[in-house]
Amino acid sequence: MENNQLLHTSVVLLAAAVIAVPIFKRFNLGSILGYLVAGVIVGPYFLGFIDNPTAVLDFAEIGVVLLLFVLGLELNPKSLWQMRKKILGLGGAQLLFCGLALAGLSMLSLSIDFKASLLIGVTLALSSTAFAIQLLKERSMLNQPMGRIGFAILLMQDLAVIPVLLSLQAMAPDPSGHIAPWWLGLLAVVITLFIGTYLLNPLLKIVAKYGNSEVMTAAALLIVLGAALGFEYAGLSMPMGAFIAGIMLANSSFRHQLEADIEPFKGLLLGLFFITIGTSINLKMLLADPWVLFSAALLLLLVKSSVIAGLIAYTGQSKLNSFRLGLMLAQGGEFAFVVMAQALSLHILDSQITEEITIVVGLSMALNAPLLMIFERLIHRKVKEKKVDYSNVKFETNKVIIAGFGRFGQATGRLLAAKGMQFTALDKDPEHIEFLKKVGHKIYFGDATRYDLLRKAGAKQATVLLIAIDNISDSLHLAQMAKRKFPHLQIIARAHNRTHALSLMDLNVDVVIREVWEGSLTAAEHTLLALGYSPSHAERMIDIFQRHDEASLLEQLEHKDDMNALMALAKANRQQMHDLFVADRNVYASEEKVVE
């Protein structure tokens, strides 16, 4: 019967994920909110398909463990040491200020003593590592400077789990249960470091040599779960054990294989973890007093995001980006469920308070993603619609203007700077600009498609405009406007694909650079060389192909709006290309005979 119950729970959770997540992503509401709502629907307080969320949570938490292991693989010990000031400084300050602020609010609103309110304050100061990292990954921020700051704060929070657990036993009016001595945690760390340094790589070499792919996957799971279990027995955090094991393997030659083996399990279990959080939200208590509980959740998000934003802005980051990151870390953490359960069993807090705290944490998770999306849309709209007055902005008048200073634009900028030639670079990503300024680039914020900005940036005096914008429609708009307003400019434009190139050519752009074209030709030439063709023959084949493609591109430009004509041209071009290579092969064969 237990097996049937496990199968029933698994089917319900998987069905909830398969149905809810695509719907929420379809409407740009994010996968996390989809998981949470699915959990609420199938949970014990709505449809009742899942009647014991705690049992499922214990299993689904393995998703968080696997997530921390993968993050550890991407962060070697040297990188971790370089982050020590952010971890101890920003992370420690966040715990201190958030903990005190939330403790004060708890003491006033719940009428409890200082010790109990401090426990609640510090518990609520901890964020959900799984939620926050998912938000960072969805926005490709994890490996950016702001993402590293957020990760450092989360790492310090994981370290704070140990003293919080110790304080629970100390606060209990009638201490009971077992708590591991402090030295056992230290021993667990030392043993993990020893095994990771001296034993894991030889073990993985043996598995790779004599085992198969299934055994390698089993070895990866054994490493993660073994480290997590060892840390739990020592009274430490399971995710912290997996994280340290990951760091120990960050420089291993098996790193990418381990990450690939873990990834499917991590994604699935992490989704189940989010669903389980949704099932734990007590809808009956929520509906009995919704305004108070929703207000408490919003207040939690406001306090944490404001404190974190203030600390990050103090380090020199922009206020908007600081608040954005603060909002990503503002939700309550899954550790709160563990602390509240233990606080209830040890008679530190009564059931009413622990239930309310659990609901507030669950609501903060549910509200976090949509509030973040609203904030980002408001900021995007503000930046997009705001009519910036550039009359007081002092631009240098240079011969070259680079619109869009990503990787494509930076290559030209670096070359010009190396030759001592000044240029004006424009970009409209504030975080990107902030980072580039720190590494020595002089770059201005602004939308290059704006005529007033381009004129203020010196387009009338400039000679060259390099269009390196990511967005295709913005790129075409800028090319059209520059051709009309500044006809003297020589325009060099980046084309993302063949269609984009045709559109730019139709606008009479002077030079169109297909961004992957030259690289693909180089790769093709090396492929021919690897197959045994002589350098001269390979070069001639590439030259024939390039000239033919450029000619066909010009032919397509004449008929770009006639699909039937384009299809006929494509067919004729393929035959022509075949004939050219046949003729070239005959010439090459005759040349070889002459040499012989």
**Mean pLDDT, each 10-residue run in order, the chain (596 residues):** 69 86 76 81 85 73 78 71 81 92 91 88 89 81 80 84 71 59 76 83 82 80 87 76 82 77 79 80 84 93 94 85 91 81 79 87 86 83 50 65 85 83 79 58 73 82 89 88 90 86 86 84 88 85 80 67 58 59 53 41
Q: In terms of domains, do 243 and 269 share one? A: yes
Q: Please give the tally of structural domains in the chain.
A: 3
Q: Which of 512, 541, 572 is the last residue of a domain?
A: 512
| 338 part of a folded domain | yes
Q: In terms of domains, do 73 and 214 share one? A: yes
Joined tokens for residue 465: 């405009």
Pairing of strands 400-403, 424-427: parallel
Q: In terms of domains, do 525 and 503 share one? A: no
Q: In terms of domains, do 375 and 491 share one? A: no
Q: In terms of domains, do 125 and 172 share one? A: yes
What per-residue confidence (pLDDT) applies to 507? 87
CA angle, residues 271, 62, 7, in degrees to nearest 5: 65
| 222 part of a folded domain | yes
- Count the neighbouring beta carbons within 10 Å of the beta carbon of residue 254: 21
Q: What's the number of CA atoms in the CB half-sphere (13 Å) around residue 347?
A: 6
**CA quadruple 59, 61, 64, 70: dihedral, nearest 10:** -20
Q: In terms of domains, do 301 and 444 share one? A: no
Q: In terms of domains, do 367 and 404 share one? A: no
Name the region of 214 (left: φ>0; alpha: ψ -120 to 50; beta: rest): alpha
Q: In terms of domains, do 83 and 178 share one? A: yes
| 14 part of a folded domain | no
Q: In terms of domains, do 287 and 408 share one? A: no
| 239 part of a folded domain | yes
| 412 part of a folded domain | yes
Chain centre to alpha carbon of residue 336: 25
Q: Helix or strand or coil: residue 492?
A: strand
| 28 part of a folded domain | no
Q: Which residues contact 161 (CB under 8 A, 6 or more apart)?
A: 126, 236, 237, 240, 335
Q: In terms of domains, do 453 and 592 share one? A: no
| Per-residue CA distances from 143 to 50, 75, 138, 223, 331 (Å) | 37, 10, 12, 25, 21
What per-residue confidence (pLDDT) applies to 470? 81
What per-residue confidence (pLDDT) applies to 518? 79
Q: Which of 349, 382, 415 is the last residue of a domain?
A: 382
Q: In terms of domains, do 144 and 276 share one? A: yes
* Residue at token pair 């004599």: 210
DSSP-derived letter for residue 392 is: G
Q: In terms of domains, do 224 and 300 share one? A: yes
**What is the residue type of 463?**
T
Helical residues (DSSP H) of 234-350, grouped into ranges = 238-248, 255-279, 283-288, 290-314, 319-328, 335-345
- pTM of the shown model: 0.59
Q: Which of 463, 489, 512 is the last residue of a domain?
A: 512
Which domain does 506 fall in, by range?
A: 393-512
Distance between CA 158 and CA 177 in Å, rounded?
23
User: Which is nearest to 224 in space by CA: 251, 243, 250, 252?
Assistant: 243
Joined tokens for residue 69: 């292991």
Task: Give the burial string for 118-149 (b: 16+ CB within 10 Å, else e).
Answer: bbbbbbbbbbbbbbbbbbbeeeebbeeebbbb
